[in-house]
Amino acid sequence: MKAENKNNIDRREFIKRIGAGSMLTVAALSGCNVNKKGGSTLSDDEIPTDKMEYRTNPKTGDKVSLLGYGCMRWPTIEQDGKTVIDQEKVNSLVDYAIAHGVNFFDTAPVYVQGMSETATGIALQRHPRESYFLSTKMSNFSNASRENSIMMYENSFKNLQVDYFDYYLLHNIGGSVGDFNRRFIDNGMLDFLIEEREKGRIKNLGWSFHGSADVFDHILAYHEKVHWDFVLIQMNYSDWRNARGRNVNAEYLYTELEKRGIPALIMEPLLGGRLSNVPAHIEARLKMQEPDRSVASWSFRFNGSYPNILCMLSGMVYEEHLQDNILSFSPFTPLTDDEKEFLFETAELMLQYPTIPCNDCKYCMPCPYGLDIPAILLHYNRCVNEGNLSKSSQDENYRKARRAFLIGYDRAVEKERQAAYCTGCKQCNPHCPQRIDIPREMRRIDQYIENLKQGKEF
């Protein structure tokens, strides 16, 4: 269902691109030609295989592609009533990525219901080990015992069919010092991982961060003892100064890392699609400036303009995503200061759209009571972006927006997985890296839907 929505968006985006392209031809703005890249699928010869931007890891000298493959969103299919990864598609996506210069792949034991590592391993073992860099993580959230953590670490080798990891991360730390201690200090796992690095089974040791600034500082202070080889942070032009929820501004995180000479890996460059599927007039604004480039390319180019960034991860589900993203890096042109300023203004404008900062990472799932949390939030965001969220029942397009919201809701979310069934148990909240108060949002969305259904005045 979700995949289809994305398809639709692509199609819509395509039409808009054509619209924007022709509009701009008429306007004859300087430096724009008619959009040649408007098609949803590009022929292979239009995508360069030898222009990928690479960054050098100061410690190992690794030449890492600036675009990394995030393996958190592999395509899935239904088989015998079960969701499984579509291995054939994964293989072809991986092949395509490698053929076009992408050499960094990032996974974790918990991704895609625990199936990501195995699928990634199957796809990658068809390529020489030295042709790619592999990254995985210690996701010992629910059981942080030393025994369980080591088991998880060893299983990753088996699943990925390798004998060393290029990059290994302490997964998602930063929520609290207590949680960090529980998972890596009290059980001696940090020391264990340092030893493993000495043995050469881990080439680079780092951590991924979600949480508050003081915990970030606390863990960063271990640098003197541990010598962190890299840190994975959430960064994009929206989070640079306007981080939402309990996220820390990326400007701070990046600057702190740069000061210490620690290379930064970047996650959520597109905020799970929220920076590629933007409200219509934001899209028009970006397109006006750069009609040839996709909306998503702005965020990649913004991040890439910072030299201390080694690689940014994007979870690409369709070949079209992959193609579009490769284009943003092959060749790569950094943003000028004026363009950066233009993006910051755009970020301010986007704040007026009350979307919920969900990146569809699915960490909250499965909800024990069967809700499809990301689908609910995504549907809500989609309606916000498309102007189908009514502020008042007196709105001019209220009837149309109401119909679109309610019918779209039933299409996006199975009836018994909708917000009305949320019990408010709050079991999801600790899992959300964006610190969304999920039960509160569920209540709020449900209230809104009740208003629509009951035809209440508001």
Partner 1 sequence: MLRKIRISIAAIFFICITLLFLDFTGTIHAWLGWMAKIQFLPAVLALNVGVIVLLVVLTLLFGRIYCSVICPLGVMQDLISWFGGKRKRNRFSYSAEKRWLRYGVLIVFVVLFVVGLNSIALLIAPYSAYGRIAQNLLAPIWGFGNNILAFIAERIDSYAFYSTEVWIRSWVTFAVAVATLGIVGYLAWRGGRTYCNTICPVGTVLGFLSRFSLLKPVIDTSKCIDCGLCAKKCKASCIDTKNHKIDYSRCVVCMDCLESCNKGAISYTMRKGSTTTQKSEEKVDNSRKNFLVGAGLLAASAAKAQEMKLDGGYATIVKKEPRAKFRTLTPAGSLSASNMAAHCTGCQLCVSVCPNNVLHPSPYLENFMQPAMSYEKGYCRPECTKCGEVCPTGAIKPISVIEKSSIQIGHAVWVKRNCIVISDDVDCGNCAEHCPTGAINMVLSDYKDKKSRKIPVINKERCIGCGACEHLCPSRPFSAIYVKSYKEHRTI
**Which residues contact partner 1 (rule: CB under 8 A)?**
4, 8, 11-12, 72, 83, 110-114, 141-143, 361-363, 365-370, 372, 403-404, 407-408, 410-411, 415-417, 420-427, 431, 443, 453-455
Note whether 64 and 309 are within 8 A (CB). Answer: no
Q: How far is the CB of 223 from partner 1 (least distance, A)?
A: 29
Residue 31 or 368 with smaller CB distance to partner 1: 368
Q: How far is the CB of 411 from partner 1 (least distance, A)?
A: 5
Residue 262 or 383 with smaller CB distance to partner 1: 383
Q: 9 in helix, strand or coil?
A: helix
Looking at residue 24, its amino acid is L
Q: How far is the CB of 106 from partner 1 (least distance, A)?
A: 14
Residue 349 or 420 with smaller CB distance to partner 1: 420
Encode 10-28: b = buried (16+ Cβ within 10 Å), e = exposed: beebeebbeebbeebeeee
Which residues lie across from 64 on neighbouring strands? 55
Sign of the torsion formed by the C-alpha atoms of 242, 246, 247 and 252:
positive
Residue 298 or 409 with smaller CB distance to partner 1: 409
Single out the residue of 140, 169, 153 nearest to residue 68, CA to CA: 169
Q: How far apart are CA 286 and CA 302, in angstroms?
A: 13
**Which tokens hold the place of 4?**
């289809």
Residue 347 or 428 with smaller CB distance to partner 1: 428
Q: How far is CA 396 from CA 111, 388, 400, 401, in A?
A: 43, 11, 9, 9
Single out the residue of 88, 152, 162 nearest to residue 119, CA to CA: 88
Residue 343 or 371 with smaller CB distance to partner 1: 371
Q: Which residues contact 363 (CB under 8 A, 6 or more apart)?
A: 110, 172, 431, 432, 433
Which residues lie across from 209 on neighbouring strands? 173
Note whether 330 and 47 are within 8 A (CB). Answer: yes
Q: How far is the CB of 361 from partner 1 (least distance, A)?
A: 7
- For 238-307, the three-class secondary structure string (H helix, E strand, C coil) is HHHHHCCCCCCCHHHHHHHHHHHCCCEEEECCCHHHCCCCCCHHHHHHHHHHCCCCCHHHHHHHHHHCCC
Q: How far is the CB of 42 from partner 1 (least distance, A)?
A: 23
Q: How far is the CB of 210 from partner 1 (least distance, A)?
A: 14
Q: How far is the CB of 406 from partner 1 (least distance, A)?
A: 8
Residue 23 or 420 with smaller CB distance to partner 1: 420
Q: How far is the CB of 423 from partner 1 (least distance, A)?
A: 4
Sign of the torsion formed by the C-alpha atoms of 356, 357, 358 and 359:
positive
Residue 113 or 305 with smaller CB distance to partner 1: 113
The length of the chain in residues reads 458
Q: How far is the CB of 422 from partner 1 (least distance, A)?
A: 7
Note whether 317 and 70 are within 8 A (CB). Answer: no
Residue 117 or 229 with smaller CB distance to partner 1: 117
Q: How far is the CB of 149 from partner 1 (least distance, A)?
A: 13
Residue 295 or 361 with smaller CB distance to partner 1: 361
